[in-house]
Amino acid sequence: MNEISLHILDIAGNSIDAGATSVRIDITESRLLNQLKVRISDNGCGMNPVVQKQAEDPFFTTRTTRNVGMGIPLLKYHVELCGGNFAIFSEEAKGTTVEAVFMLNHLDRQPVGSLSGITRILLMNEKGVEFILAYSTDKGSYEFDSKSIKEYLSIKSLNDHPLLTALSEMIKNNLCEIGAEAT
């Protein structure tokens, strides 16, 4: 995984697996604070403290298809490699928040990458999970909310190729306008 957006895709995938109906991705990119803060929050099944502790261990997974889970340990490893902080806040039956705070100018920090691209993939999920992408920079902020867009367009699903292309272009343009590193 060579982009932070791909870590986000994996963590949001965990949220979908955890039965979330809504997943919120918050990113704050601040040159003033020299910080890139990424938070993925869901209203899924949550984790008890034991599972939460084990989730940071690469050899723990509730998967039945293979016996290692790498999503969380990989993100944690990468954040700590660049002098940042990693934390999980979770409550059973309530939900989970995964937070990674990177030093923005650290030479080993991976590029943020394509958030419009991963949002496109996330919107293709067949479970109808809603996504919010909120990005802020020192210059401004932008929020994409799948539920509001569906209501605005009076449609039940955004999973349509021409629409997904238009939405990912829209996200890209809005991120560009606030001077975001992400595309």
Ligand X SMILES: Nc1ncnc2c1ncn2[C@@H]1O[C@H](COP(=O)(O)OP(=O)(O)OP(=O)(O)O)[C@@H](O)[C@H]1O
- Rule CB under 6 A: which residues touch ligand X? 10, 14-15, 18, 42, 44-47, 51, 55, 61-63, 69-73, 96
CA distance 179 to 105: 16
178 binds, among Mg ion, ligand X, none (CB under 5 to 8 A by kind): none
Please check whether residue 72 is in contact with residue 55, taking contact to mean a CB–CB distance below 8 angstroms. yes
48 binds, among ligand X, Mg ion, none (CB under 5 to 8 A by kind): none
Burial (0-12, 13-18, 19+ Cβ within 10 Å), 40: buried
For the chain, the farthest-separated pair of C-alpha atoms sits apart, in whole angstroms, at 45
CA distance 80 to 102: 8
Minimum Å distance from CB 128 to ligand X?
18
Residue 45 or 170: the one with the smaller Cβ distance to ligand X is 45
Which of 44, 71, 84, 117 lies at the binding interface for Mg ion (CB under 5 A)?
Answer: 71
Residues interacting with Mg ion, by CB under 5 A? Answer: 10, 14, 71
